Structure 1
Amino acid sequence: MASSNSQDLYAVADFCLIPMGTAEPSVAEYIAECARVLQKSGLKHQMHGYGTNLEGPWSEVMQAIHDCHAAVHAKGAPRVATDIRIGTRVDRDIEPGTGNEGKVQRVQAILAKDSQA
């Protein structure tokens, strides 16, 4: 999972890939194809109901999303739209693979204090 560019920003992303113009209303087969691409990428990812959290070096995250587009087109979707939110930070080191997890844990710790009060 090492970056090809030592200056690459570490990116924590959430993206929603939307196959368009398919014959069926379900897009699960296309999303499964994207999931296969992400598994091969080696990047930390977690699918959820309306998208996927993905993290790693910026260039690798963007390449993985590109590769998902290419795979979904190859599967027969004539159009693909993707919404992407990406966060980076340079004020502290993020242990690779813990970006999304760390964000959730921080909020959970704050909420845990509420129950102790």
Structure 2
Amino acid sequence: MTDANSDELYAVADFCLIPMGTGAVSVAAEIAECQRILSNGYGTNIEGPWSAVSKAIHDCHAAVHAHGAPRIATDIRIGTRVDRETAPGTGNDHKVRRVQEILQQDNAA
């Protein structure tokens, strides 16, 4: 089910941003630029309204370009669901808890 106050999908996205043409072997500085945009404990696994997720990825691209990368390639995987309510901030936490519950059941058996 989608939020009654919005027609926008809630999305969970995993993305891998790859700066190219920087002349450096390490991309740590560019990834730090992106992390400043996200300020998210999950690193490059983000969740929220589709438009906010898309904007965060866009803003990471803009920040890494501003840091000097002439090219960026990004792989993106986005998941959405409408079969139940997904409270903001619970998409990934629920998944992790569910897997932990299953593993605990295995250990108890």
TM-score, length-scaled by structure 2: 0.91
Kept in 2, the 8 Å contact 1:45–1:55? The answer is no
Q: For 1:46, give the aligned amino acid.
A: Y
- Equivalent of residue 56 in structure 1, options 31, 48, 55: 48
1:46 maps to 2:38? no
Q: Where do residues 1-117 of structure 1 align in structure 2 (5 Å cutoff)?
A: 6-39=6-39, 46-47=42-43, 52-117=44-109
Moved over 2 A (4+): none
Kept in 2, the 8 Å contact 1:22–1:77? The answer is yes
Report the CA distance between 1:37 and its aligned residue: 1.1
Q: Secondary structure of 1:33's match?
A: helix
Indicate the RMSD between aligned Cα atoms, in angstroms: 1.3
2:69 and 2:104 map into 1 onto residues whose CA distance is: 45
Report the CA distance between 1:105 and its aligned residue: 1.0
Deviations 1:4-61 (A, max 9, x none): x82110001111111011111100000000011112xxxx5512xxxx1100000110
Segments of structure 1 that go 5 or more residues without pairing to the other structure are none
1:71 and 1:38 map into 2 onto residues whose CA distance is: 11
Q: Secondary structure of 1:46's match?
A: coil
Identity of aligned residues (%): 70
Q: For 1:57, give the aligned amino acid.
A: P
Segments of structure 2 that go 5 or more residues without pairing to the other structure are none
Q: For 1:27, give the aligned amino acid.
A: V
